[in-house]
Structure 1
Amino acid sequence: MKSMTGYGKGQARHGGIALTVEIKTVNHRFGDISIKAPRFLISFDNDIKKRVGERLRRGKIDVFISQEASEALTTVPVLNQPLAESYMDLFRKMEALFDLRDGVPLTLLAQQRDVILMQEAAPDAQGMAECLYEALDQALIAVEQMRAVEGRATREDMESRLTQVEQMLALIRDRAPLVVEEWRQKLHQRLERFGGELEVDPQRLAQEVALFADRCDISEEVVRFASHLGQFRDLLQKDEPVGRQLDFLAQELNRETNTMGSKSNDAELTRMVVQVKAELEKIREQVQNVE
Protein backbone atom coordinates (compact mmCIF):
# COMPACT_ATOMS: atom_id res chain seq x y z
CA MET A 1 0.00 0.00 0.00
CA LYS A 2 1.22 3.46 -0.88
CA SER A 3 0.23 6.93 0.20
CA MET A 4 -0.51 9.63 -2.36
CA THR A 5 1.71 12.11 -0.51
CA GLY A 6 5.41 12.21 -1.31
CA TYR A 7 8.43 14.13 -2.53
CA GLY A 8 11.46 13.08 -4.54
CA LYS A 9 14.48 14.76 -6.13
CA GLY A 10 16.99 13.65 -8.74
CA GLN A 11 20.00 15.25 -10.45
CA ALA A 12 22.12 14.35 -13.48
CA ARG A 13 24.75 15.96 -15.76
CA HIS A 14 25.61 15.66 -19.44
CA GLY A 15 27.73 17.76 -21.78
CA GLY A 16 27.92 20.70 -19.43
CA ILE A 17 24.19 20.64 -18.61
CA ALA A 18 22.94 19.82 -15.10
CA LEU A 19 19.26 18.89 -14.73
CA THR A 20 17.33 18.71 -11.48
CA VAL A 21 13.97 16.95 -11.32
CA GLU A 22 11.66 17.39 -8.33
CA ILE A 23 8.38 15.53 -7.93
CA LYS A 24 5.71 16.48 -5.42
CA THR A 25 2.52 14.45 -4.98
CA VAL A 26 -0.62 15.08 -2.92
CA ASN A 27 -4.12 13.61 -2.68
CA HIS A 28 -6.31 13.57 -5.77
CA ARG A 29 -9.24 11.48 -6.91
CA PHE A 30 -7.51 10.55 -10.16
CA GLY A 31 -3.99 10.70 -11.62
CA ASP A 32 -3.23 14.31 -12.59
CA ILE A 33 0.30 15.01 -13.86
CA SER A 34 1.58 18.52 -14.55
CA ILE A 35 5.08 19.44 -15.78
CA LYS A 36 7.05 22.66 -15.46
CA ALA A 37 10.29 22.54 -17.46
CA PRO A 38 12.59 24.69 -19.64
CA ARG A 39 11.34 25.23 -23.20
CA PHE A 40 14.08 23.11 -24.76
CA LEU A 41 12.59 20.07 -22.97
CA ILE A 42 9.03 20.58 -24.23
CA SER A 43 9.38 17.72 -26.71
CA PHE A 44 9.85 15.31 -23.78
CA ASP A 45 6.52 16.15 -22.11
CA ASN A 46 4.62 13.08 -23.31
CA ASP A 47 7.45 10.70 -22.45
CA ILE A 48 7.77 12.23 -18.97
CA LYS A 49 4.05 11.85 -18.30
CA LYS A 50 4.14 8.24 -19.51
CA ARG A 51 7.09 7.33 -17.28
CA VAL A 52 5.55 9.05 -14.25
CA GLY A 53 2.07 7.62 -14.87
CA GLU A 54 3.39 4.06 -15.06
CA ARG A 55 4.82 4.31 -11.54
CA LEU A 56 2.53 6.81 -9.79
CA ARG A 57 -1.03 5.75 -10.57
CA ARG A 58 -3.01 8.24 -8.52
CA GLY A 59 -2.60 11.69 -7.00
CA LYS A 60 -1.93 15.29 -7.98
CA ILE A 61 1.60 14.95 -9.33
CA ASP A 62 3.73 18.03 -10.03
CA VAL A 63 7.03 17.56 -11.89
CA PHE A 64 9.50 20.46 -11.75
CA ILE A 65 12.58 20.37 -14.00
CA SER A 66 15.28 23.01 -13.77
CA GLN A 67 18.53 23.48 -15.71
CA GLU A 68 21.87 24.72 -14.45
CA ALA A 69 24.68 25.48 -16.90
CA SER A 70 28.06 24.38 -15.60
CA GLU A 71 31.49 25.90 -16.33
CA ALA A 72 32.16 23.07 -18.73
CA LEU A 73 29.39 24.22 -21.04
CA THR A 74 30.86 25.50 -24.34
CA THR A 75 29.76 28.60 -26.24
CA VAL A 76 29.97 29.26 -29.99
CA PRO A 77 29.79 32.48 -32.05
CA VAL A 78 26.58 32.91 -34.03
CA LEU A 79 25.81 35.45 -36.76
CA ASN A 80 22.87 37.74 -36.08
CA GLN A 81 21.94 37.80 -39.76
CA PRO A 82 18.96 40.21 -39.67
CA LEU A 83 21.02 42.80 -37.78
CA ALA A 84 24.05 42.31 -40.08
CA GLU A 85 21.87 42.86 -43.16
CA SER A 86 20.45 46.03 -41.62
CA TYR A 87 23.99 47.35 -41.06
CA MET A 88 24.97 46.47 -44.64
CA ASP A 89 21.95 48.32 -46.02
CA LEU A 90 22.88 51.32 -43.93
CA PHE A 91 26.54 51.24 -45.05
CA ARG A 92 25.55 51.00 -48.73
CA LYS A 93 23.26 54.00 -48.37
CA MET A 94 26.10 55.91 -46.74
CA GLU A 95 28.41 54.95 -49.65
CA ALA A 96 25.95 56.27 -52.19
CA LEU A 97 25.17 59.39 -50.15
CA PHE A 98 28.81 60.33 -49.61
CA ASP A 99 30.14 58.96 -52.94
CA LEU A 100 32.48 56.45 -51.28
CA ARG A 101 34.22 53.80 -53.38
CA ASP A 102 36.30 51.73 -50.94
CA GLY A 103 33.52 49.22 -50.08
CA VAL A 104 32.47 48.00 -46.65
CA PRO A 105 35.22 45.96 -44.96
CA LEU A 106 34.25 42.80 -43.06
CA THR A 107 36.02 44.01 -39.94
CA LEU A 108 33.75 47.04 -39.79
CA LEU A 109 30.64 44.87 -39.99
CA ALA A 110 31.98 42.40 -37.41
CA GLN A 111 32.75 45.20 -34.96
CA GLN A 112 29.16 46.33 -34.77
CA ARG A 113 27.38 45.50 -31.54
CA ASP A 114 25.39 42.24 -31.44
CA VAL A 115 26.21 41.29 -35.05
CA ILE A 116 28.14 38.33 -33.65
CA LEU A 117 26.55 36.68 -30.59
CA MET A 118 27.93 34.04 -28.25
CA GLN A 119 25.47 31.25 -27.55
CA GLU A 120 25.64 28.05 -25.58
CA ALA A 121 26.28 25.02 -27.74
CA ALA A 122 23.14 22.92 -27.93
CA PRO A 123 23.60 19.48 -26.31
CA ASP A 124 22.88 16.46 -28.45
CA ALA A 125 19.33 15.12 -28.14
CA GLN A 126 20.38 11.61 -27.11
CA GLY A 127 22.62 12.88 -24.34
CA MET A 128 19.96 15.28 -23.10
CA ALA A 129 17.38 12.46 -23.00
CA GLU A 130 19.72 10.24 -20.99
CA CYS A 131 20.42 13.09 -18.57
CA LEU A 132 16.71 13.86 -18.16
CA TYR A 133 15.61 10.26 -17.60
CA GLU A 134 18.41 9.59 -15.15
CA ALA A 135 17.32 12.54 -13.00
CA LEU A 136 13.63 11.62 -13.44
CA ASP A 137 14.19 8.01 -12.36
CA GLN A 138 16.07 9.16 -9.25
CA ALA A 139 13.18 11.45 -8.31
CA LEU A 140 10.61 8.69 -8.94
CA ILE A 141 12.50 6.22 -6.76
CA ALA A 142 12.68 8.77 -3.94
CA VAL A 143 9.00 9.71 -4.10
CA GLU A 144 7.94 6.05 -4.31
CA GLN A 145 9.98 5.26 -1.21
CA MET A 146 8.34 8.09 0.71
CA ARG A 147 4.86 7.06 -0.46
CA ALA A 148 5.58 3.45 0.53
CA VAL A 149 6.73 4.41 4.04
CA GLU A 150 3.67 6.54 4.65
CA GLY A 151 1.49 3.85 3.07
CA ARG A 152 2.72 1.24 5.56
CA ALA A 153 1.98 3.57 8.47
CA THR A 154 -1.49 4.26 7.07
CA ARG A 155 -2.22 0.54 6.63
CA GLU A 156 -1.10 -0.25 10.19
CA ASP A 157 -3.32 2.50 11.57
CA MET A 158 -6.34 1.27 9.59
CA GLU A 159 -5.72 -2.36 10.61
CA SER A 160 -5.65 -1.29 14.26
CA ARG A 161 -8.90 0.62 13.89
CA LEU A 162 -10.52 -2.26 12.00
CA THR A 163 -9.70 -4.54 14.94
CA GLN A 164 -11.51 -2.13 17.26
CA VAL A 165 -14.49 -2.00 14.89
CA GLU A 166 -14.62 -5.80 14.75
CA GLN A 167 -14.59 -6.00 18.54
CA MET A 168 -17.45 -3.50 18.77
CA LEU A 169 -19.34 -5.37 16.03
CA ALA A 170 -19.14 -8.52 18.15
CA LEU A 171 -20.64 -6.60 21.08
CA ILE A 172 -23.41 -5.26 18.83
CA ARG A 173 -24.13 -8.78 17.54
CA ASP A 174 -24.45 -10.03 21.14
CA ARG A 175 -26.51 -7.06 22.29
CA ALA A 176 -29.04 -6.95 19.45
CA PRO A 177 -31.09 -10.05 20.37
CA LEU A 178 -31.43 -8.85 23.96
CA VAL A 179 -33.13 -5.62 22.92
CA VAL A 180 -36.38 -7.33 21.94
CA GLU A 181 -36.50 -9.45 25.09
CA GLU A 182 -35.86 -6.44 27.32
CA TRP A 183 -38.56 -4.47 25.51
CA ARG A 184 -41.02 -7.38 25.94
CA GLN A 185 -40.30 -7.56 29.65
CA LYS A 186 -40.75 -3.79 30.07
CA LEU A 187 -44.06 -3.97 28.22
CA HIS A 188 -45.27 -6.75 30.53
CA GLN A 189 -44.19 -4.74 33.56
CA ARG A 190 -46.13 -1.69 32.39
CA LEU A 191 -49.22 -3.80 31.79
CA GLU A 192 -48.92 -5.45 35.20
CA ARG A 193 -48.99 -2.05 36.88
CA PHE A 194 -52.56 -1.68 35.68
CA GLY A 195 -53.44 -4.88 37.51
CA GLY A 196 -56.79 -6.22 36.37
CA GLU A 197 -57.98 -2.91 34.95
CA LEU A 198 -56.95 -3.88 31.43
CA GLU A 199 -57.82 -6.98 29.52
CA VAL A 200 -54.75 -8.03 27.56
CA ASP A 201 -55.07 -10.05 24.39
CA PRO A 202 -52.06 -12.44 24.33
CA GLN A 203 -52.23 -12.69 20.55
CA ARG A 204 -52.22 -8.90 20.16
CA LEU A 205 -49.32 -8.68 22.61
CA ALA A 206 -47.34 -11.24 20.63
CA GLN A 207 -48.00 -9.26 17.44
CA GLU A 208 -46.67 -6.06 19.01
CA VAL A 209 -43.53 -7.83 20.15
CA ALA A 210 -43.07 -9.32 16.67
CA LEU A 211 -43.51 -5.91 15.02
CA PHE A 212 -40.97 -4.35 17.37
CA ALA A 213 -38.53 -7.18 16.71
CA ASP A 214 -38.88 -6.66 12.97
CA ARG A 215 -38.35 -2.90 13.24
CA CYS A 216 -35.12 -3.22 15.23
CA ASP A 217 -33.72 -6.32 13.52
CA ILE A 218 -30.19 -5.48 12.37
CA SER A 219 -29.02 -8.99 11.57
CA GLU A 220 -28.79 -8.32 7.82
CA GLU A 221 -26.85 -5.12 8.38
CA VAL A 222 -24.45 -6.91 10.72
CA VAL A 223 -23.82 -9.66 8.16
CA ARG A 224 -23.18 -7.17 5.34
CA PHE A 225 -21.00 -5.06 7.61
CA ALA A 226 -18.86 -8.08 8.51
CA SER A 227 -18.55 -8.99 4.83
CA HIS A 228 -17.40 -5.48 3.96
CA LEU A 229 -14.85 -5.59 6.77
CA GLY A 230 -13.42 -8.83 5.39
CA GLN A 231 -13.12 -7.34 1.89
CA PHE A 232 -11.50 -4.24 3.37
CA ARG A 233 -8.85 -6.32 5.12
CA ASP A 234 -8.15 -8.32 1.97
CA LEU A 235 -7.57 -5.12 -0.01
CA LEU A 236 -5.09 -3.87 2.57
CA GLN A 237 -2.83 -6.79 1.68
CA LYS A 238 -2.84 -6.29 -2.09
CA ASP A 239 0.29 -5.10 -3.87
CA GLU A 240 -1.52 -2.68 -6.17
CA PRO A 241 -3.43 0.63 -5.96
CA VAL A 242 -6.63 -0.01 -3.97
CA GLY A 243 -7.59 3.50 -2.82
CA ARG A 244 -10.78 3.77 -4.85
CA GLN A 245 -12.01 0.33 -3.77
CA LEU A 246 -11.29 1.13 -0.13
CA ASP A 247 -13.14 4.42 -0.48
CA PHE A 248 -16.20 2.58 -1.85
CA LEU A 249 -16.13 0.03 0.98
CA ALA A 250 -15.74 2.79 3.57
CA GLN A 251 -18.92 4.38 2.23
CA GLU A 252 -20.76 1.05 2.36
CA LEU A 253 -19.63 0.43 5.94
CA ASN A 254 -20.86 3.86 6.93
CA ARG A 255 -24.21 3.22 5.22
CA GLU A 256 -24.73 -0.05 7.11
CA THR A 257 -23.78 1.66 10.38
CA ASN A 258 -26.32 4.42 9.80
CA THR A 259 -29.02 1.82 9.22
CA MET A 260 -28.08 -0.02 12.41
CA GLY A 261 -28.25 3.25 14.32
CA SER A 262 -31.70 4.12 12.99
CA LYS A 263 -33.02 0.68 13.96
CA SER A 264 -31.34 0.28 17.33
CA ASN A 265 -34.17 1.49 19.66
CA ASP A 266 -31.76 0.90 22.54
CA ALA A 267 -29.47 3.37 24.29
CA GLU A 268 -26.62 0.91 24.80
CA LEU A 269 -26.78 -0.32 21.20
CA THR A 270 -26.87 3.26 19.95
CA ARG A 271 -23.76 4.07 22.00
CA MET A 272 -21.92 1.15 20.40
CA VAL A 273 -22.97 2.22 16.91
CA VAL A 274 -21.75 5.76 17.56
CA GLN A 275 -18.35 4.38 18.57
CA VAL A 276 -18.20 2.37 15.36
CA LYS A 277 -19.07 5.46 13.32
CA ALA A 278 -16.27 7.42 15.01
CA GLU A 279 -13.68 4.79 14.09
CA LEU A 280 -15.04 4.50 10.55
CA GLU A 281 -14.68 8.24 10.08
CA LYS A 282 -11.02 8.05 11.04
CA ILE A 283 -10.54 5.14 8.65
CA ARG A 284 -12.29 7.08 5.87
CA GLU A 285 -9.93 10.01 6.39
CA GLN A 286 -6.94 7.68 6.03
CA VAL A 287 -8.42 6.10 2.90
CA GLN A 288 -8.45 9.50 1.19
CA ASN A 289 -4.65 9.38 1.11
CA VAL A 290 -4.27 5.84 -0.27
CA GLU A 291 -3.13 5.41 -3.88
Structure 2
Amino acid sequence: MIQSMTGYGKSVLQLPTKKISIELKSLNSKSLDLNARMPSMYRAKELIIRKLIAKNLVRGKVDFSLYVEITGEDTSSKINKTVVKEYIKQLKDVVDGGDHTEFLKMAVRMPDAITTERDEIDEEEWSAISKEIHDAISKIVIYRKDEGAILEQDFTNRISKLRHLLQEVITMDPDRIDGVRARLEKGVSDIKEKVDENRFEQELVYYIEKFDITEEKVRLDNHLDYFTKTLKSDDSNGKKLGFISQEIGREINTIGSKSNYAPMQKLVVQMKDELEKIKEQLLNVL
Protein backbone atom coordinates (compact mmCIF):
# COMPACT_ATOMS: atom_id res chain seq x y z
CA MET A 1 0.00 0.00 0.00
CA ILE A 2 1.48 3.31 -1.04
CA GLN A 3 1.76 6.33 1.24
CA SER A 4 1.79 10.01 0.44
CA MET A 5 4.63 12.17 1.73
CA THR A 6 2.09 14.86 2.65
CA GLY A 7 0.85 14.56 6.22
CA TYR A 8 0.06 16.22 9.53
CA GLY A 9 0.00 14.98 13.10
CA LYS A 10 -0.51 16.77 16.40
CA SER A 11 -0.60 15.72 20.03
CA VAL A 12 -1.05 17.81 23.20
CA LEU A 13 0.18 16.93 26.69
CA GLN A 14 -1.16 18.77 29.73
CA LEU A 15 1.21 18.71 32.71
CA PRO A 16 0.58 20.34 36.13
CA THR A 17 2.49 23.54 35.28
CA LYS A 18 2.79 23.48 31.48
CA LYS A 19 1.09 22.46 28.26
CA ILE A 20 3.25 20.79 25.62
CA SER A 21 2.11 20.73 21.99
CA ILE A 22 3.83 18.47 19.45
CA GLU A 23 3.29 19.00 15.72
CA LEU A 24 4.57 17.12 12.69
CA LYS A 25 4.12 18.35 9.12
CA SER A 26 5.54 16.75 5.99
CA LEU A 27 5.72 17.50 2.27
CA ASN A 28 7.36 15.69 -0.62
CA SER A 29 11.15 15.54 -0.96
CA LYS A 30 13.71 13.27 -2.62
CA SER A 31 15.09 12.29 0.79
CA LEU A 32 14.44 12.98 4.47
CA ASP A 33 14.80 16.69 5.18
CA LEU A 34 14.02 17.14 8.88
CA ASN A 35 13.75 20.49 10.62
CA ALA A 36 13.28 20.33 14.41
CA ARG A 37 12.20 23.24 16.62
CA MET A 38 12.07 22.88 20.40
CA PRO A 39 13.07 24.70 23.61
CA SER A 40 16.75 24.48 24.49
CA MET A 41 16.12 22.30 27.55
CA TYR A 42 14.93 19.46 25.27
CA ARG A 43 17.85 19.68 22.82
CA ALA A 44 19.57 16.80 24.60
CA LYS A 45 16.81 14.53 23.26
CA GLU A 46 16.91 15.86 19.69
CA LEU A 47 18.97 12.98 18.29
CA ILE A 48 16.53 10.44 19.75
CA ILE A 49 13.61 12.35 18.21
CA ARG A 50 15.31 12.54 14.81
CA LYS A 51 16.04 8.81 14.74
CA LEU A 52 12.44 8.03 15.70
CA ILE A 53 11.02 10.28 12.97
CA ALA A 54 13.46 8.96 10.34
CA LYS A 55 12.53 5.37 11.16
CA ASN A 56 8.79 5.99 10.77
CA LEU A 57 8.54 8.64 8.04
CA VAL A 58 11.56 7.62 5.90
CA ARG A 59 11.28 10.42 3.31
CA GLY A 60 9.86 13.91 2.96
CA LYS A 61 10.44 17.48 4.07
CA VAL A 62 9.42 17.16 7.71
CA ASP A 63 8.90 19.95 10.25
CA PHE A 64 8.87 18.84 13.89
CA SER A 65 7.81 21.38 16.52
CA LEU A 66 7.63 21.07 20.28
CA TYR A 67 5.96 24.06 21.94
CA VAL A 68 5.83 24.68 25.70
CA GLU A 69 3.20 26.93 27.28
CA ILE A 70 3.60 27.67 31.01
CA THR A 71 0.22 27.34 32.72
CA GLY A 72 1.29 27.35 36.37
CA GLU A 73 3.38 29.55 38.62
CA ASP A 74 6.59 27.78 37.73
CA THR A 75 8.73 29.58 35.15
CA SER A 76 12.34 29.26 34.13
CA SER A 77 12.66 33.01 33.34
CA LYS A 78 13.49 35.38 36.19
CA ILE A 79 13.98 39.14 36.40
CA ASN A 80 17.53 39.99 37.34
CA LYS A 81 16.63 42.62 39.94
CA THR A 82 20.18 43.85 40.53
CA VAL A 83 20.77 44.46 36.84
CA VAL A 84 17.40 46.14 36.32
CA LYS A 85 17.96 48.51 39.27
CA GLU A 86 21.38 49.43 37.91
CA TYR A 87 19.89 50.18 34.48
CA ILE A 88 17.22 52.43 36.07
CA LYS A 89 19.89 54.25 38.07
CA GLN A 90 21.94 54.89 34.95
CA LEU A 91 18.87 56.08 33.04
CA LYS A 92 18.05 58.54 35.82
CA ASP A 93 21.61 59.86 35.61
CA VAL A 94 21.14 60.44 31.89
CA VAL A 95 17.70 62.04 32.17
CA ASP A 96 16.90 64.20 35.17
CA GLY A 97 13.53 63.41 36.67
CA GLY A 98 11.51 61.31 34.25
CA ASP A 99 8.86 58.68 34.74
CA HIS A 100 10.06 55.73 36.84
CA THR A 101 7.63 53.41 35.01
CA GLU A 102 9.10 54.35 31.63
CA PHE A 103 12.61 53.73 32.97
CA LEU A 104 11.47 50.29 34.15
CA LYS A 105 10.02 49.45 30.72
CA MET A 106 13.30 50.43 29.12
CA ALA A 107 15.41 48.56 31.69
CA VAL A 108 13.69 45.18 31.28
CA ARG A 109 14.46 45.29 27.56
CA MET A 110 18.17 45.71 28.20
CA PRO A 111 20.64 42.78 27.94
CA ASP A 112 20.73 40.39 30.91
CA ALA A 113 17.61 41.95 32.50
CA ILE A 114 15.87 38.59 32.14
CA THR A 115 17.69 35.38 33.00
CA THR A 116 16.59 31.92 32.00
CA GLU A 117 17.49 29.03 34.19
CA ARG A 118 18.26 25.89 32.23
CA ASP A 119 16.23 23.15 33.88
CA GLU A 120 17.28 19.55 33.72
CA ILE A 121 14.88 17.24 31.92
CA ASP A 122 12.72 15.31 34.33
CA GLU A 123 12.76 11.68 33.11
CA GLU A 124 9.16 11.07 34.16
CA GLU A 125 8.12 14.17 32.23
CA TRP A 126 10.18 13.09 29.23
CA SER A 127 8.55 9.66 29.29
CA ALA A 128 5.13 11.34 28.97
CA ILE A 129 6.41 13.62 26.18
CA SER A 130 7.91 10.65 24.35
CA LYS A 131 4.51 8.91 24.32
CA GLU A 132 2.95 12.02 22.79
CA ILE A 133 5.65 12.16 20.13
CA HIS A 134 4.84 8.55 19.22
CA ASP A 135 1.17 9.50 19.11
CA ALA A 136 1.84 12.43 16.76
CA ILE A 137 3.93 10.16 14.51
CA SER A 138 1.11 7.59 14.43
CA LYS A 139 -1.35 10.30 13.39
CA ILE A 140 0.84 11.58 10.56
CA VAL A 141 1.40 8.01 9.31
CA ILE A 142 -2.38 7.45 9.25
CA TYR A 143 -2.77 10.76 7.37
CA ARG A 144 -0.15 9.64 4.84
CA LYS A 145 -1.86 6.28 4.33
CA ASP A 146 -5.24 7.97 3.77
CA GLU A 147 -3.66 10.29 1.20
CA GLY A 148 -1.90 7.28 -0.34
CA ALA A 149 -5.21 5.45 -0.78
CA ILE A 150 -6.53 8.41 -2.80
CA LEU A 151 -3.36 8.45 -4.93
CA GLU A 152 -3.57 4.69 -5.47
CA GLN A 153 -7.11 4.99 -6.81
CA ASP A 154 -6.00 7.77 -9.16
CA PHE A 155 -3.05 5.68 -10.43
CA THR A 156 -5.32 2.66 -10.94
CA ASN A 157 -7.74 4.72 -13.02
CA ARG A 158 -4.96 6.21 -15.16
CA ILE A 159 -3.25 2.86 -15.73
CA SER A 160 -6.64 1.51 -16.81
CA LYS A 161 -6.91 4.37 -19.33
CA LEU A 162 -3.43 3.58 -20.63
CA ARG A 163 -4.44 -0.07 -21.08
CA HIS A 164 -7.54 1.00 -22.99
CA LEU A 165 -5.48 3.27 -25.26
CA LEU A 166 -2.92 0.50 -25.80
CA GLN A 167 -5.72 -1.84 -26.83
CA GLU A 168 -6.87 0.75 -29.36
CA VAL A 169 -3.30 0.91 -30.71
CA ILE A 170 -3.21 -2.91 -31.01
CA THR A 171 -6.57 -2.94 -32.81
CA MET A 172 -5.47 -0.16 -35.15
CA ASP A 173 -2.05 -1.61 -35.99
CA PRO A 174 -3.08 -3.93 -38.90
CA ASP A 175 -4.71 -1.00 -40.71
CA ARG A 176 -1.57 1.05 -40.14
CA ILE A 177 0.64 -1.68 -41.70
CA ASP A 178 -1.72 -1.96 -44.67
CA GLY A 179 -1.46 1.80 -45.07
CA VAL A 180 2.35 1.67 -45.02
CA ARG A 181 2.30 -1.10 -47.64
CA ALA A 182 -0.13 0.84 -49.85
CA ARG A 183 1.98 4.02 -49.65
CA LEU A 184 5.13 2.12 -50.57
CA GLU A 185 3.44 0.44 -53.52
CA LYS A 186 2.08 3.75 -54.74
CA GLY A 187 5.49 5.41 -54.34
CA VAL A 188 7.19 2.71 -56.36
CA SER A 189 4.53 2.76 -59.09
CA ASP A 190 4.96 6.52 -59.44
CA ILE A 191 8.70 6.13 -60.00
CA LYS A 192 8.84 3.11 -62.33
CA GLU A 193 6.42 1.26 -64.50
CA LYS A 194 8.11 -2.07 -63.89
CA VAL A 195 9.66 -3.13 -60.60
CA ASP A 196 11.64 -6.18 -59.60
CA GLU A 197 9.09 -7.98 -57.46
CA ASN A 198 11.66 -9.82 -55.35
CA ARG A 199 13.57 -6.62 -54.61
CA PHE A 200 10.33 -4.83 -53.84
CA GLU A 201 9.31 -7.52 -51.35
CA GLN A 202 12.71 -7.27 -49.67
CA GLU A 203 12.40 -3.49 -49.34
CA LEU A 204 8.83 -3.85 -48.14
CA VAL A 205 9.87 -6.30 -45.42
CA TYR A 206 12.63 -3.90 -44.38
CA TYR A 207 10.24 -0.96 -43.99
CA ILE A 208 7.57 -3.06 -42.30
CA GLU A 209 10.15 -4.23 -39.75
CA LYS A 210 11.32 -0.64 -39.31
CA PHE A 211 7.79 0.46 -38.45
CA ASP A 212 6.91 -2.70 -36.51
CA ILE A 213 5.82 -1.94 -32.92
CA THR A 214 5.10 -5.50 -31.74
CA GLU A 215 7.92 -5.49 -29.16
CA GLU A 216 6.94 -2.06 -27.87
CA LYS A 217 3.32 -3.14 -27.41
CA VAL A 218 4.37 -6.25 -25.47
CA ARG A 219 6.85 -4.37 -23.30
CA LEU A 220 4.37 -1.57 -22.59
CA ASP A 221 1.76 -4.10 -21.52
CA ASN A 222 4.33 -5.76 -19.22
CA HIS A 223 5.34 -2.41 -17.70
CA LEU A 224 1.70 -1.57 -16.97
CA ASP A 225 1.31 -4.95 -15.24
CA TYR A 226 4.49 -4.35 -13.23
CA PHE A 227 3.34 -0.87 -12.20
CA THR A 228 0.04 -2.29 -10.92
CA LYS A 229 1.80 -5.14 -9.10
CA THR A 230 4.20 -2.71 -7.40
CA LEU A 231 1.30 -0.42 -6.53
CA LYS A 232 -0.39 -3.29 -4.67
CA SER A 233 2.74 -4.41 -2.79
CA ASP A 234 2.97 -4.16 1.00
CA ASP A 235 5.60 -1.42 1.01
CA SER A 236 5.39 2.08 -0.43
CA ASN A 237 8.13 2.63 -3.02
CA GLY A 238 7.60 5.85 -4.95
CA LYS A 239 11.09 5.74 -6.46
CA LYS A 240 10.50 2.29 -7.93
CA LEU A 241 7.17 3.39 -9.40
CA GLY A 242 9.01 6.40 -10.84
CA PHE A 243 11.51 4.13 -12.61
CA ILE A 244 8.69 2.00 -14.04
CA SER A 245 6.90 5.11 -15.30
CA GLN A 246 10.08 6.12 -17.12
CA GLU A 247 10.10 2.75 -18.90
CA ILE A 248 6.42 3.18 -19.77
CA GLY A 249 7.25 6.58 -21.24
CA ARG A 250 10.10 5.11 -23.29
CA GLU A 251 7.81 2.56 -24.94
CA ILE A 252 5.10 5.14 -25.62
CA ASN A 253 7.65 7.46 -27.25
CA THR A 254 8.98 4.66 -29.44
CA ILE A 255 5.48 3.73 -30.57
CA GLY A 256 4.89 7.37 -31.44
CA SER A 257 8.11 7.69 -33.45
CA LYS A 258 7.51 4.41 -35.33
CA SER A 259 3.80 4.72 -35.95
CA ASN A 260 3.92 7.10 -38.95
CA TYR A 261 0.13 7.03 -38.78
CA ALA A 262 -1.91 10.06 -37.68
CA PRO A 263 -4.76 8.21 -35.87
CA MET A 264 -2.22 6.21 -33.83
CA GLN A 265 -0.17 9.31 -33.03
CA LYS A 266 -3.32 10.89 -31.57
CA LEU A 267 -3.61 7.91 -29.23
CA VAL A 268 0.06 8.29 -28.31
CA VAL A 269 -0.54 11.93 -27.36
CA GLN A 270 -3.38 10.86 -25.05
CA MET A 271 -1.13 8.19 -23.50
CA LYS A 272 1.61 10.77 -22.86
CA ASP A 273 -0.92 13.06 -21.21
CA GLU A 274 -2.05 10.31 -18.82
CA LEU A 275 1.55 9.35 -18.05
CA GLU A 276 2.53 12.95 -17.24
CA LYS A 277 -0.29 13.13 -14.70
CA ILE A 278 0.96 9.88 -13.15
CA LYS A 279 4.51 11.25 -12.94
CA GLU A 280 3.33 14.45 -11.27
CA GLN A 281 1.52 12.48 -8.57
CA LEU A 282 4.43 10.08 -8.11
CA LEU A 283 6.54 12.98 -6.82
CA ASN A 284 4.39 12.85 -3.67
CA VAL A 285 4.59 9.09 -3.10
CA LEU A 286 6.80 7.81 -0.29
Pairwise TM-score range, normalised by the shorter structure: 0.7 to 0.9
Deviation at 1:128, TM superposition (A): 2.8
Deviation at 1:124, TM superposition (A): 4.9
**Judging changes above 3 Å, is the alpha-carbon distance between structure 1 residues 135 and 201 closer, same or farther for their aligned structure 2 residues?**
same
Instruction: For 1:74, give the aligned amino acid.
Output: D
Q: Deviations over 1:92-146 (max 9, x none)?
A: xxxxxxxxxxxxxxxxxxxxxxxxx997794652123123213212321221222
Q: 2:176 aligns with which of 179, 182, 187?
A: 179
Does 2:40 match 1:13? Answer: no
Q: Deviations over 1:125-169 (max 9, x none)?
A: 212312321321232122122211111111001100100100111
Instruction: For 2:66, give the aligned amino acid.
Output: I
Does 2:268 match 1:273? Answer: yes
Instruction: For 2:184, give the aligned amino acid.
Output: L
Determine which structure has more spread, i.e. the larger CA radius of gyration.
Answer: 1
Q: CA RMSD in A?
A: 2.8
Deviation at 1:284, TM superposition (A): 0.8
In 2, Cα distance between equivalents of 1:131 and 1:263: 65
8 A contact 1:37–1:64 mirrored in 2: yes
8 A contact 1:4–1:147 mirrored in 2: yes
Deviation at 1:180, TM superposition (A): 2.1
8 A contact 1:15–1:127 mirrored in 2: no
Q: What count of residue pairs does the alignment treat as equivalent?
A: 255
Deviation at 1:189, TM superposition (A): 4.2
Match of residue 133 from structure 1: 130
Does 2:154 match 1:157? Answer: yes
Structure 1 gap ranges (5+): 85-116
Match of residue 56 from structure 1: 57
Does 2:213 match 1:218? Answer: yes
In 1, Cα distance between equivalents of 2:275 and 2:156: 12
Instruction: For 1:66, give the aligned amino acid.
Output: Y
- The TM-score normalised by the length of structure 2 is 0.80
In 1, Cα distance between equivalents of 2:280 and 2:77: 60
Deviation at 1:29, TM superposition (A): 0.8
**Judging changes above 3 Å, is the alpha-carbon distance between structure 1 residues 135 and 77 closer, same or farther for their aligned structure 2 residues?**
closer
Q: 2:227 aligns with which of 222, 229, 232?
A: 232
In 1, Cα distance between equivalents of 2:125 and 2:240: 40
Within a 5 Å distance, the mapping from 1:36-47 to structure 2 comes to 36-47=37-48
Structure 2 gap ranges (5+): 84-113
Q: 2:143 aligns with which of 143, 146, 149?
A: 146
Match of residue 89 from structure 2: none
Q: Determine helix, strand or coil for the equivalent of 1:12.
A: strand
**Judging changes above 3 Å, is the alpha-carbon distance between structure 1 residues 187 and 136 closer, same or farther for their aligned structure 2 residues?**
same
Does 2:67 match 1:66? Answer: yes
- The TM-score normalised by the length of structure 1 is 0.79
